[in-house]
């Protein structure tokens, strides 16, 4: 009876019962099934310490738990230390469970969790080796995006929480400043271009009249849909929001501006992490963490060079077959990129048309994907423009997962800052990667899995997640989605070349001490991408070392496992079944994924 009650409790409320789960774990510690409670305890501990993450996931509001929506996550160095201490404690507790008494599913969960915690503990010595304020996903541009796109506004209570979060920003930024000063004392400062770009961004942000700031405009448009509010209440809330922006938000940003203006003369143009204390060890750690492999920087660099050469040959063959003989790859791409037939107009009408085209491509891909998969997610997907205030330094596109409760759909964000850089023949591949059957498909299936611990549905193993999205670009080609569209296929090949080039430039910058300019030249020469886009990408790799290497490494592993399955099963190979094996355990480190596929291949088939 007790066992049924515990299972019902966890199934009903998940992390809502985190505190109760901790008590129950202590009460019935030695029962083998209490391991499931331990998994949820760990997840609940982390989640309830991170109110912004809890809001993003949308897991507990349906049970009446909402107070976290009025808080911001702690950004202090002390909070980071507590997180590392918790990881060490949880790792020791996890290892105290007898593996022999665990079910197959528990053993897999334990293996995944142990590796994740171990990697976290190993990273403690590098906890200051990062740039929390940067041009890409820094605290200064994530806060407005979070408030405009993630903070829910469904009721009057949510409006009050919105105001509480605006009021909490000065404390969060003061905590952030503590960490920045500690980093500076340790000789860890961002490259000069990072400081210059975040200063430009923040100065423009606070220069806007409060009523025109995204924090005010997004509140106004969303509060207008809350039925319980009267017109007078909306006006009063809007006035309070704008007052908070002026009195609390802008002064907090001004403190950051002042700090970075003072830091700017101390910065250098040595952009790689090799310049940091034990930079070589840090980069090797990051590379292994991001790829979930033991590949060395030199091995990854050589892999990139090899893949670039292979893909270049495929591109050359396609270009020669379609009238580009005698012209270099870069010249050919530039010609196609400048052809007005392949562009939308560089105005709001063109931007609306591009968003509509992405919607069409995703709708088409969704129907086609039903033939390739047994598992189809229920979560919806929207296409939106990246907020204008962060377009200049944002990537070409990215995906934001939907909430677990389904109230907020997944979003494919497209960067529409300059329509002259968006070629129609590149759009299909981007839609497949970020949307369907790429990130949205995989992440939504993981979130909707039943019978797994919550952490198994949400852990972000980059090589798996990005490897899957890149694999789906290949899958679209293999499934005939580019038939009659040779330049669409060229867009796919350039996207794959782009990911191979990443292996070269990322290791080049951080291991071989390439300059930012050297990396930009290499990527321009190899991909023919517009310089504006190349600069954004190279600057991304500088502030997010090793992350971009995970894409190609993950894709190659999934293709290797598919090839193994096709060879071993022959005519019995079922593509949909293979996809289920890959998808229905959530994101996994690549070595564990390989063992799962091999276990499937060795098991009896119906």
Q: Are strands 397-400 and 410-414 parallel, antiparallel or unpaired?
A: antiparallel
Helix (H, G, I), strand (E, B) or coil at 461: coil
Beta-carbon contacts of residue 551 (< 8 Å; ≥ 6 apart): 463, 466, 467, 469, 470, 499, 502
| Rounded Cα–Cα distance for residues 295 and 26 (Å) | 40
Strand partners, 400: 411
Q: How many residues does the structure list for the chain? A: 606
| Rounded Cα–Cα distance for residues 444 and 440 (Å) | 6
Closest by Cα among 579, 131, 191 to 370: 579
pTM of the model: 0.89
Q: Are strands 397-400 and 381-385 parallel, antiparallel or unpaired?
A: unpaired
Q: Which pair of structure tokens corresponds to residue 309?
A: 């050469």
The answer to which of 117-121, 257-261, 337-341 has the lowest mean pLDDT is: 337-341
CB atoms within 10 A of CB 488: 20
Q: Which pair of structure tokens corresponds to residue 517?
A: 């300019």
Q: Is the pLDDT of residue 22 over 70?
A: no
Predicted local distance difference test score (pLDDT) of residue 294: 96
How would you class 258 by CB atoms within 10 Å of its CB: exposed for 0-12, middle for 13-18, buried for 19 or more? exposed
Q: Is the pLDDT of residue 10 over 80?
A: no
pLDDT band at 347 (very low <50, low <70, confident <90, very high): very high
Predicted local distance difference test score (pLDDT) of residue 286: 98
Q: Is the pLDDT of residue 586 over 80?
A: yes
Q: Give helix then strand counts, H and E, for the chain.
A: 26, 3
Closest by Cα among 93, 80, 215 to 146: 215
Predicted local distance difference test score (pLDDT) of residue 330: 85
State pLDDT tens for residues 435-462.
999 999 999 999 999 999 999 999 989 9
Q: Is the pLDDT of residue 27 over 60?
A: no
CA of 254: how far to CAs of 12, 217, 559, in Å?
45, 21, 49
Closest by Cα among 253, 174, 257, 181 to 210: 253
Predicted local distance difference test score (pLDDT) of residue 606: 64
Closest by Cα among 430, 400, 434, 395 to 416: 395
Average pLDDT, whole number, for the chain?
Answer: 93
Predicted local distance difference test score (pLDDT) of residue 343: 95
> E strand or H helix at 385, and its extent?
strand 381-385
Q: Is the pLDDT of residue 64 over 60?
A: yes
Q: Is the pLDDT of residue 111 over 70?
A: yes
Domain ranges in the chain are 1-48, 139-269, 280-554
pLDDT band at 29 (very low <50, low <70, confident <90, very high): very low
Give the up-direction half-sphere exposure of residue 312: CA atoms within 13 A in the CB hemisphere: 16
| Rounded Cα–Cα distance for residues 574 and 374 (Å) | 11
Q: Which pair of structure tokens corresponds to residue 80?
A: 């980071």
Predicted local distance difference test score (pLDDT) of residue 545: 98
Q: Is the pLDDT of residue 564 over 60?
A: yes
Closest by Cα among 141, 260, 135 to 542: 135
Helix (H, G, I), strand (E, B) or coil at 295: coil
How would you class 227 by CB atoms within 10 Å of its CB: exposed for 0-12, middle for 13-18, buried for 19 or more? exposed
pLDDT band at 604 (very low <50, low <70, confident <90, very high): confident
Mean pLDDT to the nearest integer, 472-496 = 97
Predicted local distance difference test score (pLDDT) of residue 405: 85
Q: Is the pLDDT of residue 15 over 50?
A: no
State pLDDT tens for residues 413-427.
999 999 998 999 999
Mean pLDDT to the nearest integer, 51-62 = 92
| Rounded Cα–Cα distance for residues 424 and 133 (Å) | 34
Beta-carbon contacts of residue 52 (< 8 Å; ≥ 6 apart): 72, 73, 146, 150
Mean pLDDT to the nearest integer, 396-412 = 91
State pLDDT tens for residues 182-235.
999 999 999 999 999 999 999 999 999 999 999 999 999 999 999 999 999 999
Predicted local distance difference test score (pLDDT) of residue 212: 97
Q: Which pair of structure tokens corresponds to residue 252?
A: 């907090």
């Amino acid at each position: 009876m007790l066992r049924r009650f515990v299972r019902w409790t966890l199934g009903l409320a998940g992390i809502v019962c985190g505190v109760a789960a901790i008590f129950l774990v202590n009460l019935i510690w030695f029962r083998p099934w209490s391991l499931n409670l331990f998994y949820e305890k760990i997840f609940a501990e982390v989640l309830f310490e991170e109110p912004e993450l809890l809001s993003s996931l949308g897991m507990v509001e349906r049970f009446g738990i909402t107070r976290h929506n009025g808080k911001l996550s702690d950004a202090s160095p002390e909070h980071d230390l507590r997180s590392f201490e918790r990881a060490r404690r949880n790792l020791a507790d996890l290892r105290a469970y007898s593996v022999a008494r665990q079910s197959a599913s528990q053993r897999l969960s334990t293996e995944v969790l142990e590796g994740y915690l171990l990697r976290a503990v190993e990273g403690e010595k590098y906890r200051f080796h990062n740039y929390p304020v940067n041009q890409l996903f820094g605290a200064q541009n994530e806060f407005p995006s979070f408030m405009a796109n993630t903070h829910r506004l469904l009721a009057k209570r949510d409006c009050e929480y919105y105001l509480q979060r605006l009021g909490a920003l000065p404390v969060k930024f003061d905590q952030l400043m503590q960490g920045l000063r500690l980093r500076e004392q340790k000789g860890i400062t961002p490259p000069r271009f990072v400081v210059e770009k975040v200063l430009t961004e923040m100065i423009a942000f606070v220069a806007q009249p409060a009523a025109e700031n995204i924090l005010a405009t997004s509140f106004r448009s969303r509060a207008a849909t809350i039925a319980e509010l009267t017109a007078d209440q909306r006006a009063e809330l809007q006035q309070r929001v704008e007052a908070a922006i002026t009195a609390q938000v802008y002064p907090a940003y001004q403190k950051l501006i002042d700090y970075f203006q003072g830091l700017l003369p101390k910065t250098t143009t040595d952009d790689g992490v090799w310049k940091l204390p034990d930079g070589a060890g840090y980069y090797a750690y990051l590379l292994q963490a991001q790829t979930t492999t033991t590949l060395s920087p030199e091995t990854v660099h050589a892999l990139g060079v090899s893949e670039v050469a292979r893909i270049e040959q495929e591109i050359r063959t396609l270009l020669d077959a379609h009238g580009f003989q005698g012209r270099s790859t870069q010249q050919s791409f530039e010609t196609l990129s400048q052809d007005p037939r392949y562009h939308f107009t560089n105005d709001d009408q063109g931007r609306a048309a591009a968003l509509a085209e992405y919607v069409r491509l995703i709708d088409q891909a969704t129907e086609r994907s039903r033939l390739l998969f047994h598992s189809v997610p229920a979560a919806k997907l929207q296409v939106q423009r990246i907020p204008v205030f962060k377009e200049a330094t944002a990537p070409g596109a990215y995906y934001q997962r939907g909430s677990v409760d389904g109230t907020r759909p997944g979003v494919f964000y497209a960067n529409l800052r300059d329509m002259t850089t968006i070629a129609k023949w590149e759009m299909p591949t981007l839609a497949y990667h970020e949307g369907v059957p790429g990130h949205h498909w995989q992440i939504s299936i993981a979130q909707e899995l039943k019978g797994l611990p919550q952490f198994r549905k949400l852990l972000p193993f980059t090589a798996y997640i990005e490897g899957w999205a890149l694999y789906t670009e290949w899958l679209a080609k293999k499934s005939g989605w580019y038939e009659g569209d040779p330049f669409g296929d060229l867009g796919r090949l350039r996207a794959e070349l782009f990911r191979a080039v990443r292996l070269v430039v990322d290791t080049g910058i951080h291991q071989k001490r390439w300059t930012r300019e050297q990396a930009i030249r290499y990527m321009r020469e190899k991909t023919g991408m517009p310089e504006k886009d190349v600069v954004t990408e190279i600057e991304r790799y500088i502030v997010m070392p090793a992350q971009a290497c995970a894409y190609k490494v993950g894709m190659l592993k999934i293709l290797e496992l598919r090839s193994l399955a096709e060879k071993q099963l022959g005519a019995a190979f079922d593509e949909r079944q293979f996809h289920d094996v890959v998808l229905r355990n959530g994101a996994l480190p690549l070595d564990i994924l390989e063992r799962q596929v091999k276990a499937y291949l060795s098991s009896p088939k119906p």
